[in-house]
A and B are shown apart, each in its own frame.
Chain A
Amino acid sequence: MMTSEKTSTTSAAEWPTLLGDNARRGGQAQVRFQSPANAAWQYRAASPVRSAPVFHGGLLYVASVNGMLHAIDVATGTSKWKFKAAGPVHSTPSLFENAILFGCDDGQVYAIDQNSGESLWEAASQGEVWSSPVVRNGSVFFGSADGSVYAVDGRHGQSKWSQQLGGRIYSTIYAEEHQLYVGCGDGKIYSLEAASGKILWSQATGNGIDSSPAVSDNLVLIGSEDFFVYGLDAINGEVRWKYETGLGIASSPAVSGDFAVIGSKDGFLYAFEVRTGNLRWKTAVGEVVTAPPVIGDGVVCIQAGGTFALDVSSGKIVWRAGLGGALQSVPVLAAGSIYVASLNGEVYALR
């Protein structure tokens, strides 16, 4: 049974949620990730793709801004089915059991049957849902532009609780066994109790937060529009370290072992020691970086103006492709291919 709840590793044939799994490792050490020789196929979504694809069972799921969810057969690059939501979609889908979940600008989170493309259930909020729904212990957690975090039952979409925070929520929640972590437009990072939504702690930064957190080594890692990357104590939210980049941060960290990588709007990709925040390397990859990076076997990959792969040790660019320009999309490294969705609505399988 497919689930995005795994927190350690996923098999090379699965990519159920943003950055591969709930640990946001992005498939680290799972997939050989070498320079692609060619595009096996190209699929036209007929609308910009702002979010990242997910992959399971030979199907690549891609949500386009015009509200269409595409299930693409990766063997042929053709559509198996499409589902039309009632509004634009900016949310990265995630998978839970037989459902694919995604948020919509109409305020709903949709659960769609992976095989048929039929609607299973919907859960309502009062604002756009650009964040990606995250599943843990059978509960689906998501933040909304209405300023609330919601928990609903993963099988039926029934509400469990909601918690109002101080600003819009575009950050995707990081769910641990008992605690949730999320950034908010009010500039704070919050930790909530997963069972009740009770606020356990909050930590202010100097501006709003568009970035999504990752947790590693008991530290919450996240970027802020105040230009800083933060490492917060996951227990109490105290700032353990922070590192200043050149502009605001909408990108989100990908974690691999003792280091994390994140992009900044200053155009650089930064690699940090998780424990100390010490910079390992930084590399310019474009004028602006807003998407999260992903870590493969020996490389870090990022979509900015195009798609870049950097040596994980040095940050040196090892290859680049002039396709895959993106704001928040992340390459999927699965089943011997790299799947890239771009802002111009094209989806590519690179091999």
Chain B
Amino acid sequence: MDRRTFVKVGCIGSASVLVQGLDPMLRAEGVAPALPAIDLHGLPDYKPSSLGMPGLFPGRVIEARDRNAIARNRVSQPLVRRMLERAMKELTGETSARDAWAKFIATTDVVGIKINPSGAPACCSSPEIIREIIASVQSLGVPARNIVVYDRYSYEIDIASYQALLPPGVRIVGIQDAFSGGGTGYEPTVYCDANFFGEWETRSHMAGVVAHEVTKIINVPTMKDHSAAGITGALKNLAYGTFNNVARTHRAPHSFTNPMIGLMCSVEPLRSKAVLHIMDGMRQVWHGGPLTQVQDFIDQTGMLLVATDPVAMDTIELEAIEKKRHERGVPSLWQHDPESITPDSRIFFHDASKNLFFRQPGHVAAAGKLGLGVSELKQIDHRLLSS
């Protein structure tokens, strides 16, 4: 077997797929240990949806900007409402926001909203945006009890106070706490199996709430660099917040976030259920992500990205973070200079020229090769909406 991938572009649903290698492009980043075999098991007999990634509008990304949408680190909900309405109409071509939302959500759906609370309180999915998404979903007739705001760690949700800030009746679910194995919230039959570094637990399981409860997912990532993955955007928020036991894919300075992020997103039913991605770019973290609390590395940009294609969205995000780092005179996310690696997280968190891992921003393009979306910048229909 050579090192080429034989992951088939398409859904990974009822069948188990064994990945025995990678596209050479995926391995071009650093001298990582050899990629092991990766065994993917989707939900048996699940029928893929046409709304699934890359969704109704492959390659289209709507960027709404309003500098006043965030002021002194506070997000304006009225301005977010306006930006989101305009972006949804632009994305879908509909003249009313309600009709735009109705392209993705039906009254009978159980709607999961995948937030990103890691990095709270400095940078997480803004409750103001989540409230607007909830209001939009409710406007379609979906009852509050059929809306599930979820992420992996309950304590991170707690730090951000989502439980107090979201409307009554909406379910807020932390799949596990940080101090247990988290087995009870996960589906035993849906998993990704690989042994990257000799870890004792080689499987990452899909959250039960995703496998069985929700029928649609609205993904609300933040805009951050990521010490291992390069960036954390739509793809990583979806994959590493839905599957457990994912930290094992990186052991400093190496990381297998490429290709694991894309592979996890391709597993059914996650792929089919994730119908819309709304990236919170009110704040942009250009170093120290995903957990930094250092405000010097967080710019308040007042941006929202809306897409059905997570690869195109993350490609735009990658460009934005890369540009920001260039402006600040710090190394590219693509740089793989061993001199820039530090094992000391205290240094990493305060020195933007240092990193803990050889970053893997190529995970975005790799996800494109899996059919999850468009990663070629010139092919992306990137539309700007200014205030």
A127 beta carbon closer than 8 Å to chain B: yes
Q: Which of A243-259 contact B (CB under 8 A)?
A: 246-248, 250
Give the nearest-CB partner of A145 in chain B.
B168
Q: Is the C-beta of A70 less than 8 angstroms from some C-beta in chain B?
A: no
Q: Does B200 contact A (CB under 8 A)?
A: no
Chain A residues positioned under 8 Å from B127 (CB to CB): 207-208, 225
Among A146, A209, A343, point to the contact of B179 (Cβ < 8 A).
A343
Of the candidates B74, B155, B163, B180, the one whose C-beta lies within 8 Å of that of A226 is B74
Establish whether residues B164 and A48, one from each chain, have CB atoms under 8 Å apart when the complex forms: no
| A208 nearest CB neighbor, chain B only | B165
CA distance A126 to B56 in the complex (A): 38
Q: Does A157 contact B (CB under 8 A)?
A: no
Inter-chain contacts of B167 with A (CB < 8 A) = 167-168, 185
The verdict on A34 contacting chain B, using a C-beta distance below 8 Å, is: no
Residue A147 is within 8 A (CB to CB) of chain B in the complex: yes
Interface string of B350-365 (1 = CB under 8 A from A): 0000000000000000
- Give Cα distance in the complex from A198 to B378, angstroms: 62
Mark out the residues of chain A between 306 and 351 whose CB falls within 8 Å of any chain B CB in the assembled complex. Answer: 327-328, 343-345
Please name all residues of chain B whose beta carbon is closer than 8 Å to the beta carbon of A206 when the two chains form the complex: 74
Q: Is B161 an interface residue (CB 8 A)?
A: yes
Number of chain A residues whose Cβ lies closer than 8 Å to a Cβ of chain B: 38
How distant is A268 from chain B, measured CB to nearest CB, in Å?
A: 12
A210: interface (CB < 8 Å): yes
The answer to the question of A227 belonging to the interface, with a C-beta cut-off of 8 Å to chain B, is yes
Interface centre among B167, B168, B169 (most CB of A within 10 A): B168
Q: How far apart are the CA atoms of A48 and B121 in the complex, in Å?
A: 20
The interface residues of chain A lying within 8 Å CB-to-CB of B293 are 267, 287-288
A185 B155 Cβ-Cβ under 8 A: no
What is the CA–CA distance of A38 and B155 in the complex, to the nearest angstrom? Answer: 28
Q: Are A127 and B168 in contact (CB under 8 A)?
A: yes
Assess the A168–B168 pair: CB atoms within 8 A. Answer: yes
B161 touches A227 (CB 8 A): no
Interface positions of B (Cβ within 8 A of A): 73-74, 120-122, 127, 154-155, 158-159, 161, 163-169, 177-180, 293
Q: Which residues of A contact B (CB under 8 A)?
A: 47-48, 50, 65, 127-128, 130, 145-147, 167-171, 185, 206-210, 225-227, 246-248, 250, 265, 267, 287-288, 290, 327-328, 343-345
Nearest 8 interchain pairs by C-beta = A208-B165, A210-B164, A265-B121, A147-B168, A170-B164, A210-B161, A287-B293, A185-B164
